Structure 1
Amino acid sequence: MRGIITPKLDVFLMQVNTAIADAKQQGIPFSAEAVRTGLNNLSALLDNKPDIELVRNDELVLTDRKIPVRIYHPAPTEKLPVLLHFHGGGHMCGSVELYDPISRQLAQHTNCIVICVDYRLAPEHPYPAGIDDCQYLLTHYKTLLNGLNYNDKLYIAGDSAGGAICTTLVMNNVENKAVKIDKQVLIYPSVDYTMTSASIDENGQGYLLEKDKVTWYFQQYFQVENLHDDLVKKASPLFGEFSNKMPETFIITGGCDPLRDEGLAYLNKLKAAGVTVEEHHFPDLPHAYMLLQSLVEEECERSYQLIGQFLR
Structure 2
Amino acid sequence: MRGTLAPHLEEFIGQLNQAAEQAIKDGVIPTPELARTNLAKLSAFVTKSPDIAFTQSSELVIGAQAIPVRIYSPDPDARLPVLLYFHGGGHMCGDIQMYDPMCRKIALAANCVVISVEYRLAPEYPYPAGLDDAELVLRHYQTLLTDVAYNNQIMVAGDSAGGAICTSLVMRKSQGADLTIDKQVLIYPSVDYSFSFPSFIENGDGYLLTKARVQWYFENYFHQDESRKAVSPVFGPLDNKAPQTLVITTSCDPLRDEGIAYHQRLVELGVNSQHYEFEGMVHAFMNLEDLVPDECALLFEKIGAFINS
TM (normalized to structure 2)? Answer: 0.97
CA offsets 1:51-95 (integer angstroms, 9 cap, x no match): 111101000112222100000011012110000000000000010
- Identify which of 223, 239, 246 aligns with 1:243: 239
Cα offset for 1:202?
0.7
SS, match of residue 153 in structure 2: strand
TM (normalized to structure 1)? Answer: 0.96
Cα offset for 1:177?
7.5
1:259 matched to 2:255 = yes
How far apart in 2 are the matches of 1:149 and 1:92?
Answer: 33
SS, match of residue 63 in structure 2: coil
How far apart in 2 are the matches of 1:36 and 1:218?
Answer: 15
Residue aligning to 1:155? 155
Change (3 A) 1:175 1:203: closer
How far apart in 1 are the matches of 2:298 and 2:127?
Answer: 33
Residue aligning to 1:65? 65
Residue aligning to 1:298? 294
Cα offset for 1:172?
0.6
Change (3 A) 1:119 1:240: same
Instruction: State the one-letter code of the partner of 2:283.
Output: H
Cα offset for 1:230?
4.8
- Identify which of 261, 266, 271 aligns with 1:275: 271
How far apart in 2 are the matches of 1:179 and 1:208?
Answer: 35
* Aligned pairs (5 A) from 1:4-19: 4-19=4-19
Any gaps of 5 or more consecutive residues in structure 1?
none
SS, match of residue 230 in structure 2: helix
Instruction: State the one-letter code of the partner of 1:221.
Output: Y
Instruction: State the one-letter code of the partner of 2:64.
Output: D
Any gaps of 5 or more consecutive residues in structure 2?
none
Cα offset for 1:176?
5.2
How far apart in 2 are the matches of 1:281 and 1:259?
Answer: 12
How far apart in 2 are the matches of 1:90 and 1:274?
Answer: 30
Instruction: State the one-letter code of the partner of 1:274.
Output: G
1:184 matched to 2:184 = yes
How far apart in 2 are the matches of 1:214 and 1:124?
Answer: 18
CA offsets 1:105-150 (integer angstroms, 9 cap, x no match): 1001000000001000000000000000000000000000113210
How far apart in 1 are the matches of 2:191 and 2:177?
Answer: 24
Change (3 A) 1:175 1:44: same
Instruction: State the one-letter code of the partner of 1:87.
Output: H
Residue aligning to 1:30? 30
Instruction: State the one-letter code of the partner of 1:38.
Output: N
Residue aligning to 2:111? 111
Cα offset for 1:231?
2.4
Instruction: State the one-letter code of the partner of 1:62.
Output: I
Cα offset for 1:283?
1.9
Instruction: State the one-letter code of the partner of 1:16.
Output: L
Let me know the Cα RMSD of the aligned residues.
Answer: 1.2
SS, match of residue 280 in structure 1: strand
Change (3 A) 1:181 1:90: same
User: How many pairs align?
Assistant: 308
- In the TM superposition, structure 1's runs of 4+ consecutive aligned residues that sit over 3 Å from their partners are 174-178
Please tell me whether the aligned partners of residues 260 and 275 of structure 2 are also in contact (alpha carbons under 8 angstroms). Answer: no
Cα offset for 1:248?
0.5
1:83 matched to 2:83 = yes
% identical aligned pairs: 51
Please tell me whether the aligned partners of residues 57 and 68 of structure 2 are also in contact (alpha carbons under 8 angstroms). Answer: yes
Residue aligning to 1:234? 230
SS, match of residue 228 in structure 2: helix
How far apart in 2 are the matches of 1:177 and 1:26?
Answer: 48
Cα offset for 1:178?
4.4
How far apart in 2 are the matches of 1:116 and 1:237?
Answer: 22
SS, match of residue 238 in structure 1: coil
How far apart in 1 are the matches of 2:63 and 2:146?
Answer: 21
Cα offset for 1:232?
1.4
How far apart in 1 are the matches of 2:34 and 2:49?
Answer: 26
